[in-house]
């Protein structure tokens, strides 16, 4: 992948982690019910996949540069 795509994937992961943090910490009224916990976990999953994809692509590209 190109460097721009790797940076976009990492920024997407950071954004998804931030949104997931908001959804995970949102409480419904005075009770401790977390109605958006499932959505938050899905965002964390997609963010993790995005981060791992960008990291693997960068490590492969950096190995090719060194050789």
Per-residue pLDDT at 6 exceeds 70: yes
Question: Averaged over 11-22, what is the pLDDT?
Answer: 92
Cα–Cα distance, 57 to 67 (Å, whole number): 16
Question: Averaged over 19-38, what is the pLDDT?
Answer: 76
Q: From residue 44, how far is each of 2, 14, 61 by CA, in Å?
A: 24, 10, 26
Q: How many domains does the chain have?
A: 1
- Supply the pLDDT for residue 13: 95
Cα–Cα distance, 7 to 64 (Å, whole number): 19
* pTM listed for this prediction: 0.77
* Residue 52 domain boundaries: 3-66
């Amino acid at each position: 992948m190109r460097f721009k795509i790797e940076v976009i994937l990492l920024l997407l992961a950071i954004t998804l982690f931030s949104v997931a943090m908001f959804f995970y910490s949102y409480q419904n009224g005075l009770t401790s019910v977390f109605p958006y916990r499932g959505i938050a976990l899905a965002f964390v999953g997609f963010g993790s996949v995005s981060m791992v994809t960008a990291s693997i692509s960068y490590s492969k590209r950096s190995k090719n540069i060194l050789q």
